[in-house]
Structure 1
């Protein structure tokens, strides 16, 4: 019997179908779910690691994986993992926030040249800051100067602290998923100044090359969890409000907008190539990143 797959995921409401697959459809018999609160940047590092903290599979933000795979290819190295599935079809809404009392920052227009808090280099929060700069026309690819100075803060709590005036590693703003962040501008800790949507499906599944033989069964169990999620929205609300401290209003609003596929297996090459093009324009690669032919490794059986 093959060893259980070590599957990393970000412990947010998007993990609800995974919880259902674990609780009701035997995912626990083939996989160990490992929460990674530092996000997709940490997941990519653990996919490439060769120690006890390594992962076989990771479920995270599209931009984080595509950026990491592109940088690895541009550097002439092998990542040892690839994209195997599409976990969430809908785009992700990133809230753009600063400290509630931060003076002089009241809109996205005030952010040019400022310091952006990121969970770690290569994370979705870092990548999307470059996408924001590109959309605003603030990139100066000729000079090589970044539109924002990144400040690595760590987890979500550290990011919130970083935008306060007395922060240990002060940043001027950061970007995080809308519903995770909303209660902190509603309680007066943060100030929301804008939002940005990913121009691609928001979550994908990545796996080490060595895990490929087990992916068909793993993704089949995830599909069952997604089916329950779609058919039993009240159970989804109950799980989200009971385990992650989201309000019922937020949980129901999120459910109205999120779209999971019926079958997570496979990744559209056009989507990956589109993401590569946007990230390349946003100066995320210093060399040739390649495209979907180098990044998508799953072949449906």
Structure 2
């Protein structure tokens, strides 16, 4: 018997097809939640704590594309999990009247889960989009690493950070309760979630267990698409969302019929935007072609 894969995932609404793949279609894997996100999964892959990660496109690509990555980088992009862009909501504290709009954030303190995480990378994309970047200068006065969504919310209320970015529907519950306030949003200019595999599984062609994962995930996606009511029930019962918000999210998300493979133009497009935003350096780090298996 092959050893079951250890799969890192973010325990949010997007994980529902993965849950269905295991529940109904015999996915033989240990699912390991990473509530602090993709940056933490990169660390875990490099430490051989997980074999597969399902996380955010920009974080995976930034993790491989930075100069000075040790060894072979630890993982490669092997599959596509979500076709649609991600809506990053920009949040501040409930009682921060001085932060009225996105313009107020220039030169402020950005809260991130980890250096290299999606919340970190998208800060630079936001700065680039708003014209806040100048050569040799950081767009924000401080980058405050807070690890968890809960600590990010606390930091914008205490003043430790001025703002942070997190997925819209995961944030919405805390707008509705008045804990934090929404000041804007930014969409990723790329499809939002990718599947990566440890280089131990990609060196001699793709490990058969990864092929099996794609087959079972495709069935999980098909089940999700055919059973929205069940998906809403699972999300609202087991994850931190209302049924109403889960239904609204369903209108915004598309999972691929075939999860295996990554479009090279998505990766090269992301790399070029991350270079423009100063996350990656031109002519340094891994090429976009080398990131994909």
TM-score (norm 2): 0.95
| Match of residue 136 from structure 1 | 130
Superposition deviation, residue 274 in structure 1: 0.2
2:176 match: 186
Structure 1 partner of 2:163: 173
1:195 aligns with 2:211: no
**Residue of structure 1 aligned with 2:152, choices 156, 159, 167:** 159
Q: Secondary structure, in 3 states, of the residue corresponding to 1:257?
A: coil
Shift of 1:102: 1.0
Give the C-alpha shift of residue 76 in structure 1. 6.8
1:81 deviates by 1.2
- The SS at the match of 2:80 is strand
Write the mapping of 1:74-93 to structure 2, written as runs, cut at 5 A: 75=69, 77-93=71-87
In structure 2, what is the equivalent of residue 55 of structure 1? 50
Q: How far, CA to CA, are the matches of 2:97 and 2:254 in structure 1?
A: 37
Is the aligned partner of 1:292 residue 2:293? no
8 Å CA contact 1:119, 1:155 repeated in 2: yes
How far does residue 191 in structure 1 lie from its aligned partner after superposition? 0.9
Contact 1:95 1:178 in 2 (8 A): yes
Could you say which residue in structure 1 is the equivalent of 2:91? 97
Which runs of 5 or more residues in structure 1 are unaligned?
none
Query: Are the aligned partners of 1:139 and 1:147 in contact in 2 as well (CA < 8 Å)?
Result: no
1:145-164 Cα offsets, whole Å, 9 max, x none, are 34452100110000000001
Question: What is the deviation of 1:78?
Answer: 1.6
Following superposition, the deviation at residue 257 of structure 1 comes to 1.0
- In structure 2, how many angstroms separate the alpha carbons of the residues matched to 1:180 and 1:273? 28
Q: Partners in 2 of 1:119 and 1:80 — Cα distance?
A: 21
Count of aligned pairs between the two proteins: 287
Question: What corresponds to 1:37 in structure 2?
Answer: 35
Alpha-carbon shift at residue 261 of structure 1 (Å): 0.3
**Matched residue SS, 1:210:** helix
Runs of at least 5 residues in structure 2 that lack an aligned partner in the other structure: none
State the alpha-carbon separation in 2 of the partners of residues 39 and 228 from structure 1.
25
Calculate the aligned-residue CA RMSD, in Å. Answer: 1.3
Q: TM-score, normalised by structure 1?
A: 0.92
Q: 2:144 aligns to what SS in structure 1?
A: strand
1:15 counterpart residue number: 15
Deviation at 1:31, TM superposition (A): 1.0
Contact 1:272–1:291 (CA<8 Å) still a contact in 2?
no
CA distance in 1 between partners of 2:284 and 2:240 (Å): 43
- Choose the corresponding residue for 2:103, options 98, 109, 112: 109
For the residue of structure 1 that corresponds to 2:259, the secondary structure is: coil
